[in-house]
Copies of this chain bind each other. A is one copy, B any other.
Amino acid sequence: MAVPDKHILLMDGPDSKGLIYHVTGVLFRHGLNIIHNDEYVSPSGRFFMRTEFEAGSVSFDSAALLNELQTTIPQSGSSTESEVKTAHSSGITFRLNPKRKKNILVMVTKEHHCLGELLIRYAFDELDADILAVVSNYNILQPLVSKFGIPFHYISHEGKTREEHEEAILRTLAIYEPEYLVLAKYMRVLTAGFVDQFPNRIVNIHHSFLPAFVGANPYRQAYERGVKIIGATAHFVNNDLDEGPIIAQNVKEVDHRHTAVDMATEGKDVEKIVLSQALKLVFNDRVFISGNRAIVL
């Protein structure tokens, strides 16, 4: 098995002078080549950096590299390089991973457009992820999923409490151990208990331009408000409905001739593309969470 040649270093913590210098120096001294480096300092002084590098012919020990990065941070305020501090004492987090596809599980209800988009991309290796299985509370989309040879789990919510239903889903998830759950038009609200088990690992597509029109029937709400533009929002799911960090949004012009049904039809094209774009960012480790904001590097 080939050793992956590309690696992603993620760094997140309080800003201080010298952080870019520190990381680029360690990589330089190891002979590692930075392909792309992007950093951001928030108005509140938090530093985020994503560094993509390749090893080429250089062999390196990930654990040792990470340790070096964590223990030789230059001391802010000092202009000598001998005074250093550690990531731990600085509140800085480093993550270092080879660049690779993620394992995901997709949850749906009745609508096919987002799922179909993901399946086609997956079939042609464009998803940056492997779809381990699809879970639905209806069996309507089973024929579509079966075309692509992916396990489909029909877990009806009928006759179950919300908790019982989620328990059943969790038992299925335990089989696959996905890194991410993708809610590709899964139309049921998840409990806090469920969401807490997948912190920043559930991506949802909401069919409105959040924060406009949270909750049910956003296109009906949009029609009644008489908006001239509709939209879709891909976001992480946290405990508050439709309130998690926004990863990507897009919009489409409508006019008074669009009924709520027309808006829903047109909106599907926006939803599926936005979801795909957001997943591409997430699966390539380009999204940091900062409070309720998503930093995309």
Seen from chain A, the residues whose Cβ lies within 8 Å of a Cβ on chain B are 17-18, 20-21, 24-25, 27-31, 33-43, 74, 79, 81, 112-113, 116-117, 120, 123-124, 126, 144, 147-148, 209-213, 224-229, 231, 245-251, 253, 255-257, 259, 265, 269, 273, 276-277, 290, 292-296
Contacts and interface: CB of A to CB of B under 8 A. Distances in A.
Contacts of A226: 245-246, 292-294
B33 A28 contact: no
B40 A39 contact: no
A290 B124 CA distance: 35
* Copies of this chain held together in the complex: 4
Contacts of A36: 41
A26 to B, nearest CB: 9
Contact of A39 (B28, B37, B212, B292): B37
A201 B272 CA distance: 29
A249 B269 contact: no
A228 B41 CA distance: 17
Nearest to A256: B295
